[in-house]
Chain A
Amino acid sequence: MKKIHNIIIGLMGLLGLMGCTETVKDAKLEAVQPQIYPDYLGVTIPVNIAPLNFCMADETTQCIDAVVTDRHGHELHSQGDESVDFDLDDWHEMLGQNRGDSLSVTVSAKYDDGWHTYCPFSIYVSPDSIDYGICYRLIAPGYEVWSKMGIYERDLSCFDERALIENTQFEGCVNCHSFNRGNPADMSLHIRGPHGATLLRHSLGGDLQSLTAYNTKTDQTLGFCVYPYWHPSGRYIAYSTNATSQLFHSADPNRIEVFDTASDLQVYDVEKNELLLSPLLKQDSVYETFPVFSADGRSLYFCAARALLSSGEGTGVGPLDSLHYNLCRIDFDPATGSYGNRIDTIVDAEAQHKSVSFPRPSYDGRFLCYTLSDYGQFSIWHHEADLFLLNLSTGESRPMTEANSEDTESFHNWSTNSRWLVFSSRRDDGLFTRPYFCHVDANGVVGKAFMLP
Chain B
Amino acid sequence: MKHFRIPPTLHHLLFTVLFGVAVFLFFGLAYPHHLHYQEQYQLFLFDSNYVCEIVRQPGGVADLLGRFCTQFFLFAWVGAAIIALLLSTVQLLTLRLANYQSSIIHYPLFYGLSFVPSFLLWLFLLDENALLGSVWAVLLTQLAFCGLLRLPDRWMRRILIFVAFFLLYWIAFGGSHYYRIPNTFPTLFYAAWFSAMIIPLLMWLVVRGKKSENAQQQNNSCVPSVASGQRSSALTSHLISLTSYLLVVVVMGTFIWKNANFKAERVMQYDFMACHQQWNRILETVNAEKPNNQIGVTVQNLALAMHGMLADRLFNYNQNGIAGLLPDVQSDATSPMPTAEAFYQLGMIYVAQRTVFEAQEAILDFQKSGRCYKRLAQTNLIIGSYEVARKYLTALQKTLFYREWADETLPLLGNEEAIAKHPEYGRLRQCAYNNDFYFSDHVTPEMLESLYFSNTDNRMAYQYLLAYCLLTGDRDRFNLYYSQRGTDR
A-side residues, CB < 8 A to B, are 2-3, 6-7, 9-11, 13-16, 140, 142-148, 168, 247-253, 255-257, 311-318, 320, 428-432
Contacts and interface: CB of A to CB of B under 8 A. Distances in A.
A250 B357 contact: no
Contact of B350 (A11, A255, A311, A430): A255
A283 B143 CA distance: 70
Interface stretch (B188-196, B231-239, B440-448): B440-448
A431 B385 contact: yes
A16 B48 contact: yes
Given A7-B400, A11-B46, A145-B331, A250 B436 contact: yes
Contact of A317 (B351, B432, B436): B436
B332 to A, nearest CB: 9
Given A14-B51, A253-B385, A316-B436, 9 more contacts: A13-B398, A14-B48, A145-B362, A251-B436, A313-B438, A314-B446, A429-B388, A429-B390, A431-B387
Interface string B359-389: 0111100100000000000000001010110
A431 B390 CA distance: 12
Contacts of B447: 250
12 contacts: A13-B48, A143-B354, A145-B331, A249-B436, A249-B437, A250-B348, A250-B450, A312-B438, A315-B437, A317-B438, A429-B385, A432-B388
Contacts of A313: 438-440
Given A13-B47, A249-B350, A432 B391 contact: yes
A118 B47 CA distance: 30
Contacts of B46: 9-11, 13-14
Given A249-B438, A255-B354, A2 B366 contact: no
A148 B360 CA distance: 11
A318 B388 contact: no
Nearest to B52: A14
B385 A430 contact: yes
Contacts of B348: 250
Given A10-B46, A250-B439, A147 B363 contact: yes
B358 A2 contact: no
A143 B444 contact: no
A66 to B, nearest CB: 22
B316 interface: no
B218 to A, nearest CB: 57
B187 interface: no
A249 B403 CA distance: 32
A194 to B, nearest CB: 13
A250 B350 contact: yes
Given A13-B46, A251-B350, A143 B438 contact: no
Contact of A431 (B363, B388, B403, B432): B388
B182 interface: yes
Contacts of A13: 46-48, 398
Contacts of A432: 388, 391
B435 A314 contact: no
B438 A145 contact: no
B387 A248 contact: no
Nearest to B355: A143
Nearest to B349: A251
B457 interface: no
Contacts of B391: 429, 432
A145 B439 contact: no
Given A143-B358, A249-B350, A251-B434, A314 B439 contact: yes
B425 to A, nearest CB: 16
Nearest to A141: B357
Q: Which of B388, B400, B432, B434 has the largest number of chain A CB atoms within 10 A?
A: B388
B46 to A, nearest CB: 3
Contacts of A140: 357, 361
B404 interface: yes
B357 A143 contact: yes
Contacts of B47: 13-14
Contacts of B173: none
A407 to B, nearest CB: 10
A140 B395 CA distance: 15
Contacts of A253: 383, 385
A250 B433 contact: yes
Contacts of A11: 46
A6 B396 CA distance: 13
Contacts of B446: 314-315
A181 B385 CA distance: 37
Contact of B437 (A255, A316, A431): A316
Question: Nearest 6 pairs between A and B by C-beta?
Answer: A10-B46, A429-B387, A247-B438, A148-B366, A251-B433, A145-B361
A150 to B, nearest CB: 11
B387 A317 contact: no
A429 B440 CA distance: 26
Given A11-B46, A145-B331, A252 B436 contact: yes
Nearest to A171: B183
B437 A142 contact: no
A253 B385 CA distance: 8
Contacts of B363: 147
A201 B400 CA distance: 48
Contacts of A16: 48
Interface in B244-269: none
Q: Which of A7, A10, A15, A16 has the largest number of chain B CB atoms within 10 A?
A: A10
Nearest to A254: B436
Contact of A428 (B51, B351, B387, B432): B387
Contacts of A252: 350, 436
A412 B210 CA distance: 76
Q: Which of B51, B354, B391, B450 has the largest number of chain A CB atoms within 10 A?
A: B354
A325 B333 CA distance: 37
Nearest to B435: A251
B331 A248 contact: no
Interface in B415-440: 432-440
A146 B48 CA distance: 25
A248 B444 CA distance: 13
Nearest to A320: B438
Q: Which of A140, A147, A250 has the largest number of chain B CB atoms within 10 A?
A: A250
A143 B361 CA distance: 10
Contacts of A256: 354
Contacts of B357: 140, 142-143
A399 to B, nearest CB: 24
Contacts of A147: 360-363, 366
A250 B444 CA distance: 12
Contacts of A7: 400
A428 B358 CA distance: 22
A14 B425 CA distance: 33
A30 to B, nearest CB: 24
B431 to A, nearest CB: 11
Contacts of A9: 46
A430 B358 CA distance: 19
A318 B439 CA distance: 12
Nearest to A7: B400
B390 A250 contact: no
Nearest to A167: B366
A257 to B, nearest CB: 7
B438 A257 contact: yes
